[in-house]
Structure 1
Amino acid sequence: MASTPRPTPTPYDTDKYPKTLKVFLDHCGQRRCKSAFIQDILPNILSSIGNGKSQLNVIGVGSGAGDVDVEMLTQLHLKHPWARLDYETVEPSRHQLRKFRETVNQNSHFDFVKFTWNEMTDTEFEEHWKQKNITKKVDFIHMVEMLYYVKDPEAAINFFHSLLDKNGKLLIILADEVCSQVRVSKVVQGQLCQEYHPSSALSIEVIKSLLDARGVVYESYQLLSTVDITDCFTEGHETGELLLDFLTKVQDFSKRASPELRREVMTVLRDCSVEKDGRVMANDSHSVLIINALD
């Protein structure tokens, strides 16, 4: 039986996580797929929110360094150029939040947005919202690949869904069941530090089941992508080890895992990959859910 890795620190509290994330993004097609969706499909979805209001309220949950947020805000402004945007950012990483703020400060064209920077987790934000007895409704909320780190994804979705105004939209992006991240996480899930990665093997299919059970109306779009994991098969390769850290959501995975567990993970990665031009390309498919406001 594979031995249990020592508890891993939360990625939000380490300097290594941004580097790990960058390596992953540099080796996959996620950015291209997300950008294509934001530029080609999202504008039509955003056109129906607000109903001509002079101010649109927006929340980004788990915004990270704001790369996706910036693209979405730009498209929202193009669709509603007359509206001011009141934007709440919910992000627990001080490092990532600082990068987001720097990006905004360096771009004067974001003067149509009023930013509120919340260095909080989703649960802390919910407590803050309720303690302050905030009653404003929100026109657009996005949760991009952050539900893996949430202790109760269903509760998080229910809370933010309840904040939507009439015609409001909640956007969720999450990995598909066949994605290499989900399949690898299932192998190591029981040996992860659940305090930090309680939903590491969560897939979009699970979220759809939860929504279907409640009769919630949503639209679904698939983002087909791959990630180059060739370097993962060279033990000790810096890039490969960082990719493994990201895919397993365990910092220093190869040092913490037993040889048996590492071999099992590599077998799973090989099974969900294809070879192309001498490179090993793993499945990295994700889906987008667009959830309508409650009736």
Structure 2
Amino acid sequence: MAGWLKIGKLHLSPERYVASFRTYRAAKEVNLENYFQFYGSNVPDTIPCESGVRVLGIGSGSGEIDSVILKRLLQRHNNVYSRVVEPSEEMIGRYKSLVREDASLGAVEFDWRQQTAEEYFTTKEDTTFHLIHAIHVLYHVEDLHATLRNTWEQLADGGCLFIAMQSDKSGWGNMWKTMRETFIQDDPLNTRLRHSGDVKQCLDAMAISYVTSEDESHINVTECLKEDSETGSLLLDFLTQTPDVSNEPQIKSVVQEHIRRNCSVIDGRTLLQSINEIIIAFKSG
């Protein structure tokens, strides 16, 4: 069927992406304080450096998670340099506004790069970094293997690679597995339906050891099972990373059946499990 060609292409419909992302944020049942604390608590206590910490953020978005990581580093280091690689002018603008409003980030030297990861790595700069993070961005890079390899090359000896992805063990991650097995006819990594297992498989192939940490939350997907619900249609788009998926009966049917079989129902709310998995790898000298 032709509908599978749309899978993972939500990013090509910017307005739909923004609307579906807002719907997802509203449906996500999570304590934001605990959510941010999860990132801060996983920042390594010991990052070897003498003259200050250099940080590279790949796909930093509006900077909410970046700021948590940077504040954690500022507790231990007086000098922090942060290179921000983000293709969206709007997201960089939001990040800069956050920096202006948060005096505690005044001690950070920022270097803004409005580029995709691919554009950035073609510059072949010699700078190495003590901490490189990619927070829920590796779904969107063109070549996952190449991005991880380039990232590892820019990591200083003793430095830390800090990655966050949707877990392959979550209800949401398993939905993507089902979609990949059912509809994807070529390499599934060519879609946006990537999960933590794909990253770990790449690191294993590169003989890079790592540790992981997980944080569970839920998404209220009740509207996704209602016909003619615009909220449900937008949420399904984001969950499947597929634009107007409600107009693709076969894909929609498979996804809704997954929800019915794998979600819990509490107080009339149908809840899809989401597991935020952090993968941390140190580069030995």
Superposed pair shares fold, TM > 0.5 = yes
Deviation larger for 160-169 or 4-13? 4-13
**Alignment match of 1:179 (pick from 154, 160, 170):** 170
Shift of 1:180: 3.6
Matched, 1:92 2:83: no
Given the superposition, is the C-alpha separation of residues 150 and 227 from structure 1 closer, same or farther in structure 2, using an over 3 Å criterion?
same
1:49 corresponds to: 47
2:74 corresponds to: 77
Shift of 1:6: 6.8
**Alignment match of 1:245 (pick from 237, 244, 262):** 237
Q: SS at the partner of 2:122? A: helix
Count how many residue pairs are aligned between Structure 1 and Structure 2.
281
Gaps of 5+ in 1: none
CA contact (8 A) 1:229 1:243 kept: yes
Matched, 1:213 2:205: yes
Gaps of 5+ in 2: none
1:17 corresponds to: 17
1:114 corresponds to: 109
**Alignment match of 2:148 (pick from 157, 177, 181):** 157
2:28 corresponds to: 28
Distance 2:24 2:10 in 1: 18
Distance 1:125 1:148 in 2: 17
Shift of 1:208: 1.8
Q: TM-score, normalised by structure 2?
A: 0.87
Distance 2:198 2:173 in 1: 11
Shift of 1:198: 2.6
2:127 corresponds to: 136
The letter of the residue matching 1:93 is: S
1:203 corresponds to: 195
Shift of 1:144: 1.0
The letter of the residue matching 1:36 is: Q
- 1:265-280 counterparts in 2 under 5 A? 265-280=255-270
Given the superposition, is the C-alpha separation of residues 12 and 68 from structure 1 closer, same or farther in structure 2, using an over 3 Å criterion?
farther
Q: SS at the partner of 1:100? A: helix
The letter of the residue matching 1:24 is: Y
Matched, 1:167 2:166: no
Q: SS at the partner of 2:110? A: strand
CA contact (8 A) 1:224 1:285 kept: yes
Shift of 1:112: 1.0
Give CA deviations for 1:102-131 in whole Å, capped at 9, x if unaligned.
222223332111222222111111012x1x
Distance 2:114 2:235 in 1: 27
Deviation larger for 21-30 or 145-154? 21-30
Given the superposition, is the C-alpha separation of residues 201 and 288 from structure 1 closer, same or farther in structure 2, using an over 3 Å criterion?
same
Distance 2:210 2:243 in 1: 35
Distance 1:138 1:252 in 2: 40
CA contact (8 A) 1:33 1:224 kept: no
Deviation larger for 139-148 or 100-109? 100-109
Q: TM-score, normalised by structure 1?
A: 0.85
Q: SS at the partner of 1:290? A: strand
Given the superposition, is the C-alpha separation of residues 205 and 7 from structure 1 closer, same or farther in structure 2, using an over 3 Å criterion?
closer
**Alignment match of 2:137 (pick from 129, 146, 151):** 146
Deviation larger for 173-182 or 227-236? 173-182
1:4 corresponds to: 3
Q: SS at the partner of 2:277? A: strand
